[in-house]
Amino acid sequence: MHDIDIDMVEMTLDVVKYAINRITQTNPELGKPKTEAELRRLVGETVTNSGIGGEKAFELFRQVLVKATVPIDHPRHLAFVPASPTRAAILFDLVTSASSIHGAYWMEGAGGIFCENEAMKWLVSLTGMPEPAFGVFTSGGTAANLSAIVVAREKWRKNPRNINQKGILITSIGAHSSIKAMAKVIDADVLLVASEDAMSQSALEAFYDKLPETEKERVFAVVATGGTTNAGIIDELDGIANFCRSKNLWFHVDAAYGGGALAAKSVRHLFKGIEKADSVTIDPHKWLFSPYDCGAVIYKNPEEAKEAHAQEGSYLEIFKDEGAHGFNPSDYQIQLTRRLRGLPLWFSLATHGTEKYEWAVEQGIKLAKIAGELIEKNPLTELVREPSLSCVLYRRIGWSAEDYRNWTYRNHESGFALVTPTKWKSTNGYETVSRFCFINPDTTQKDIQDILKSME
């Protein structure tokens, strides 16, 4: 659709100018949501028979709609898992769209898939998984976890005894919500080991040993977390790997958030055992500075993934021909047509080099340490637990759940910061506490001090 006229030229310049401005802003306005009714009142009807014109639509986006979104790369956005895509990666996201490449099959996407695979080689090297381990980029951690677990389940179902059985997956209560959601998709049961802190080999073993024989037979996988989203806790990966090997269970490591920390020498040792995994999830759109959306799934044995995921179809056969020989990303995860999601990461890695990534990840860990010290020094606050990876859980002494909530809204409303509360298990049930998660290397010590000051 090459609809070029003079208005389109204007609009192209407008859009590119906006994009350049936005990626050079290190302190974007902290937007906040409005109700749908209010947005409608402000922008009116935008999809009409003859169109409202690009200039008008873009103006509404800039003046109203984008202000009703939260820029997650804001240096004082420390809620959930923030993001901080590099300029190079964002620019290449634009290039990825402009290039119109189908990323499913080598036949059409060879040059782009080559680039994705270069970035993937680096990710695989971070895990230390031995050859022939390899992976593909997905839409995110949820899709990566689902793709991996489908492979695990298919492998388990190869045993005729399991064909009509509902599988069981064991994980910990610290696991991400997507594990339960994905188990629903494949109709598997989930059993949770109750370890708010790291899941250990002994806790897992004790849990497994207590299961009735009929349930033991149904267990096909264990999902450990390489950096819980809430607190940055890394399960005892090495021990869990050994346990899985002894019971012939699939070992998946969900490192969607924490995986970026594999690049940081100061904490790499905490992931010992990840190299023994059957599959690993890492989200470059979390801690590897890629724009949304970009996840990754890596398999110890990609052939197993291909057996589970390769799609058949008469119009697809051409892609399997000799002439189109090469790596077909659609064979290794749940999606067929796909954007070349790894391309922005590749360009950014090629631009900056991997040392810059190491530095940027270490910066997040350093910020968590600094926050920990400031919290301990402040008479009004205390740590709930030592900072882990780039997550810090702390309490404002004397505050109720309602106080945290009001404080969050106050700071967001004034456009100052977005820091949200979470829950943590204490002696008398779950307690509401405050949480920082650092990703953006542009966050400063002063940002943290100012946020703590807003709790006075």
Ligand X SMILES: *Cc1c(COP(=O)(O)O)cnc(C)c1O
Instruction: Go through 24-54 and write b for each residue having 16 or more CB atoms within 10 A of its CB, e for each that does not.
Output: eeeebebbeeeeeeeeeeebeeeeeeeeeeb
Q: Are 109 and 103 in contact (CB under 8 A)?
A: yes
Q: Are 344 and 96 in contact (CB under 8 A)?
A: yes
Q: How many CA atoms lie within 13 A of 320 on its CB side?
A: 11
For residues 82 and 75, what is the distance between their CA atoms, to the nearest angstrom? Answer: 9
CB 145 to ligand X: min, Å: 6
Take residue 125 and report the two structure tokens written for it: 């090297």
Helices (H), 75-140: 87-99, 106-127
Binding residues for ligand X, how many (CB under 6 A)?
14
Nearer to ligand X, 155 or 176 (CB): 176
Nearer to ligand X, 341 or 396 (CB): 341
Site for ligand X in 227-266 (CB under 6 A): 229, 254, 256-257
Query: Per rule CB under 6 A, is residue 85 in the interface with ligand X?
Result: no
If you write DSSP's letter for every residue of 69-89 in order, what string do you get?
Answer: S--TT-TTB-SSS-----HHH
Site for ligand X in 431-450 (CB under 6 A): none
Nearer to ligand X, 43 or 387 (CB): 387
Site for ligand X in 90-149 (CB under 6 A): 140-142, 145
CB 143 to ligand X: min, Å: 7
Nearer to ligand X, 256 or 451 (CB): 256
Nearer to ligand X, 236 or 254 (CB): 254
Nearer to ligand X, 141 or 372 (CB): 141
Nearer to ligand X, 80 or 359 (CB): 80
CB 353 to ligand X: min, Å: 25
Site for ligand X in 332-371 (CB under 6 A): none
Site for ligand X in 140-199 (CB under 6 A): 140-142, 145, 176, 178
3-state secondary structure of 223: strand
Q: Are 231 and 368 in contact (CB under 8 A)?
A: no
CB 319 to ligand X: min, Å: 27
**Per-residue mark of binding to ligand X, 22-61 (x: CB under 6 A):** ----------------------------------------
CB 283 to ligand X: min, Å: 5
Nearer to ligand X, 71 or 227 (CB): 227
- Of 239, 295, 364, 372, which lies in the binding site for ligand X, with binding defined by CB under 6 A? 295
CB 279 to ligand X: min, Å: 13
Closest CA to 221 of 157, 137, 126, 140: 157
How far is residue 113 from each of residues 160, 323, 328, 383, measured CA to CA in Å?
37, 16, 8, 45
For residues 150 and 188, what is the distance between their CA atoms, to the nearest angstrom? Answer: 10
- Of 84, 201, 225, 443, which lies in the binding site for ligand X, with binding defined by CB under 6 A? 225
Q: How many CB atoms lie within 10 A of CB 336?
A: 15
Q: Which residue is nearest to ligand X (CB)?
A: 141
For residues 377 and 452, what is the distance between their CA atoms, to the nearest angstrom? Answer: 11
Binding site for ligand X (CB under 6 A): 81, 140-142, 145, 176, 178, 225, 229, 254, 256-257, 283, 295
